[in-house]
Amino acid sequence: MEGEPERSHRVYVVSDATGGTARRVVDAALMQFKDASVAVEQVPGVRKVKEVKQLVKRAAKARGTIVHTLALPDLRRVMLTEGRRRHVATIDLMGPLLSRLSETLE
């Protein structure tokens, strides 16, 4: 409607390290949607289950999306479980690759 503020979608870029890899992937994907209003929040250094749960709760309130590069399987599982429970889309950029490499290289 005219006069209403433009709404933006919020994307949370979550990592147990710096988040640089995930941020570059998100930025590359967003290039396909140049006219979209998207707020990207980078959240580095996530290493605890409590932090993951808090982030998913925050994303649920904002109706946002979480893109992550969490290396630890336990954190990835919590992210997936909490995301489903709170109806938050979570996109795991590293998990499938790490699982495959673990199967073939260990």
How many domains does the chain fold into?
1
Residue 67 lies in a domain: yes
Residue 4 lies in a domain: no
Residue 3 lies in a domain: no
pLDDT tens digits, one per residue of 9-51: 999 999 999 999 999 999 999 999 999 999 999 999 999 999 9
Helix (H) or strand (E) run with residue 9 in it: strand 9-15
CA angle 76, 81, 86 (to 5 degrees): 125
Domain range for 25: 9-105
User: Residue 50 has which token pair?
Assistant: 């409590």
CA angle 36, 16, 9 (to 5 degrees): 15
Q: What is the mean pLDDT of residues 1-14?
A: 73
Residue 23 lies in a domain: yes
CA dihedral sign, ordered 83, 93, 27, 30: negative
CATH for 22: 3.40.50.2300
Residue 2 lies in a domain: no
**What is the pLDDT confidence band of residue 1, given thresholds at 50, 70 and 90?**
very low
Q: Whose structure tokens read 């709404």? A: 7
